[in-house]
Amino acid sequence: DPMENGMAEEDGKQWFGVTPPDLTLAARHRSADWVYSYLINFYEDDSRPYGYNNHVFPNVGMPHVMAGMQQELSEEEFKSNMGDIANFMTYAAEPMAPTRERIGVYVLVFLGILLIPAYLLKKEYWKDVH
Ligand code: HEM
């Protein structure tokens, strides 16, 4: 089901300078690698309103909502969690992607098999043409 956002657009704009975006298609729009890099690249920066900036998205409006987690976990665990989020966002952006890929293989196998009678038929039609 869609995840509803309880924050009013106007409030978000006032609090963060920009309304928090709908992330449904973010992983497709930006790529999973970008989202992962973005999530692991927040750094402390006192010049920013919420004390954090981002190497991948300079002067980002989003606060570092994972700051607590990053402090508690080892770097490896934190990166693994951010990888899970990036993967989940990739799945959420196109839940039927694995089905599409599976059907694609069936279609290619079918076309491969169809090639045999099509080729034999072509030989049959052209055998009298010299
Ligand atoms: C696990 C939770 C979250 C994830 C994975 C996440 C991820 C992202 C991503 C990928 C973007 C960049 C979108 C783009 O421009 O393509 C973004 C932007 C943003 N996020 Fe988050 N976000 C999370 C939580 C939050 C929360 C809790 C808030 C606010 C309290 C927030 C506020 C914003 C804002 C304001 C922007 C726009 C930044 C700008 O354009 O300067 N995010 N977020």
Specify the length of the chain in residues: 130
pTM assigned to the model: 0.85
Q: Which one, of 78, 96, 81, lies nearest residue 28 by Cα?
A: 96
Ligand 1 atom 31: residue of nearest CA: 62
Q: Is the CB of 61 under 6 A from ligand 1?
A: yes
Q: 124: part of which helix (H) or strand (E)?
A: helix 97-126
Position 71 scores a pLDDT of 96
Q: Which residues of 26-35 are buried (b: 16+ CB within 10 A; e: fewer)?
A: bbeebebeeb
- Do 22 and 92 contact (CB within 8 A), yes or no? no
Position 124 scores a pLDDT of 95
Q: Which residues of 6-23 are buried (b: 16+ CB within 10 A; e: fewer)?
A: eeeeeebeeebeebeeeb
Give pLDDT < 50 ranges for the chain: none
Ligand 1 atom 42: residue of nearest CA: 62
Residues 22-55: tens digit of each pLDDT = 999 999 999 999 999 999 999 999 999 999 999 9
